[in-house]
């Protein structure tokens, strides 16, 4: 049963607290989502970017909650729905019962969607997170830039869970450039951005 695969993956994290356990479960869920997207034509048009990309593919030593993507070529008509409907079908075999909230904003170049699940934490054999704990709920924000800046570079990487899947990702140099842009141009500063800057350098 596929839920056993998730449990075995979770054990490999060797977590020592409730917070670590739910962070690990979220990251496992992110990998399952990536593998599902790779079964569609999504990565013909888009690349994975951001902090979760740095974590999964380049070894950033902190967890990250959101999944950020960018279109390889701009497309103002992009919609999450058909891809996430496929994700919902795929992740069901791993014990998830996810719901989609698609927040497409007509006047924005960024398309937002949320995937939520409040059941998988109840059927997994969790070591720390209680069956009724709010921490047993998974919520992942997916964001994609439909009008990306020029100059970014991509490469092909692979996730090995739940099965080997090819994923188009931004190169580490491009991710670093994006982090510098966030530090210099964003109207507010997040402490994790400085942490990541030190990690990159």
Instruction: Give the number of other CB atoms < 10 A from CB of residue 103.
Output: 13
Residue 22 has pLDDT above 60, yes or no: yes
Q: What is the pLDDT of residue 124?
A: 81
Task: Please answer whether residues 71 and 78 qualify as being in contact, where contact means their C-beta atoms are separated by less than 8 angstroms.
Answer: yes
Core vs surface per residue 47-71: b (16+ CB within 10 A) or e: bbbbbbbbbbbbebeebbeebbbbb
CA distance 194 to 201: 11
Q: How far is CA 195 from the centre of its chain?
A: 19
Residue 139: C-alpha distances to residues 16, 135, 169, 171 (Å)? 22, 10, 22, 27
Mean pLDDT value across residues 155-175? 97
Mean pLDDT value across residues 137-164? 94
CA distance 34 to 86: 11
Q: What is the pLDDT of residue 191?
A: 86
Residue 189 has pLDDT above 80, yes or no: no
Q: Label the pairing between strands 138-145 and 110-117.
A: antiparallel
The pTM score is 0.92
Q: What is the pLDDT of residues 30-81, one digit of tens each?
A: 999 999 999 999 999 999 999 999 999 999 999 999 999 999 999 999 999 9
Q: Label the pairing between strands 138-145 and 67-71.
A: parallel
CA distance 131 to 125: 9
Q: What is the pLDDT of residues 110-132, one digit of tens each?
A: 999 999 998 776 778 788 766 55
- Percentage of the chain beyond pLDDT 90 is 67
Task: Please answer whether residues 128 and 21 qualify as being in contact, where contact means their C-beta atoms are separated by less than 8 angstroms.
Answer: yes
Which residue segments constitute the domains of the chain, with CATH numbers given? 1-171 (3.10.450.620)
Q: What is the pLDDT of residue 188?
A: 79
Q: What is the pLDDT of residues 138-151, one digit of tens each?
A: 899 999 999 998 88
Q: What is the pLDDT of residue 129?
A: 66
Q: What is the pLDDT of residue 120?
A: 76
CA distance 105 to 50: 21
> Which stretch of DSSP H or E encloses residue 23?
helix 18-38
Mean pLDDT value across residues 166-188? 93
């Amino acid at each position: 049963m596929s839920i056993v695969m998730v449990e075995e993956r979770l054990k490999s994290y060797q977590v020592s607290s409730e917070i670590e356990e739910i962070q690990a479960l979220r990251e496992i869920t992110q990998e399952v989502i990536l593998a599902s997207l790779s079964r569609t034509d999504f990565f013909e048009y888009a690349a994975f970017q951001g902090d979760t990309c740095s974590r999964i593919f380049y070894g950033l030593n902190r967890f990250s909650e959101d999944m950020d993507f960018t279109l390889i070529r701009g497309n103002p008509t992009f919609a999450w729905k058909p891809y996430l409907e496929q994700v919902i079908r795929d992740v069901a075999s791993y014990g998830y019962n996810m719901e989609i909230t698609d927040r497409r904003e007509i006047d924005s170049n960024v398309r937002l969607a949320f995937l939520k699940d409040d059941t998988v934490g109840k059927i997994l054999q969790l070591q720390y997170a209680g069956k009724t704990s709010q921490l047993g709920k998974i919520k992942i924000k997916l964001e994609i830039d439909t009008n990306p800046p020029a100059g970014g570079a991509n490469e092909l990487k692979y996730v090995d869970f739940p099965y080997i899947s090819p994923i188009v990702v931004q190169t580490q140099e491009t991710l670093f450039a994006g982090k510098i842009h966030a530090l210099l141009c964003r109207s507010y500063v997040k402490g994790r951005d400085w942490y990541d800057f030190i990690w990159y350098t």
